[in-house]
Amino acid sequence: MNLFIDAIAWIFSPERLTGSLTLPQAILQHLAFTFFAVLIAAVIAVPLGWLIGHSGKGREIAVFLSGAARALPALGLVALLVLLIGVTLKTEAAMVAFVLLAIPSILAGAYAGIEAIDRTVIDAGRAMGMTRWQILFRVEVPLGLSLLIGGFRSASLQVVATVTIAAYFGLGGLGYFMIRGLATRDIAEVLGASIVVVVLALVLDGVFAVLARIAVPRTESRRTRRSTLPRARPAVPEPS
pLDDT 10s digits, 101-145: 899 899 989 888 888 888 888 888 888 888 878 888 888 888 888
Q: Is residue 30 part of a domain?
A: yes
Put simply, whether the predicted model's pTM sits higher than 0.85 gets the answer: no
Quick one: average pLDDT of 82-90? 76
Give, as one character, the DSSP assignment of residue 136.
I
Give the total number of structural domains in the chain.
Answer: 1
Q: What CATH number has the domain bearing residue 208? A: 1.10.3720.10
Q: Is residue 239 part of a domain?
A: no
Q: Is residue 228 part of a domain?
A: no
Quick one: average pLDDT of 51-80? 76
Q: Is residue 33 part of a domain?
A: yes
Q: Is residue 121 part of a domain?
A: yes
- State the pLDDT confidence band at 192, using cuts at 50, 70 and 90: very high
pLDDT in tens, 6-36: 999 999 999 989 888 999 999 999 999 999 9
- State the pLDDT confidence band at 237, using cuts at 50, 70 and 90: low
Could you give the dihedral angle defined by the CA atoms of residues 36, 202, 199 and 75, in that order, rounded to the nearest 10 degrees? -50
Q: What is the mean pLDDT of the chain?
A: 83
Quick one: average pLDDT of 162-181? 90
CB contact at 8 A, 120 and 135? no
Q: Is residue 196 part of a domain?
A: yes
Within its chain, how far is the Cα of 63 from the centroid?
17
Q: Is residue 230 part of a domain?
A: no
CB contact at 8 A, 179 and 168? yes
| Domain limits for position 49 | 2-11+23-222
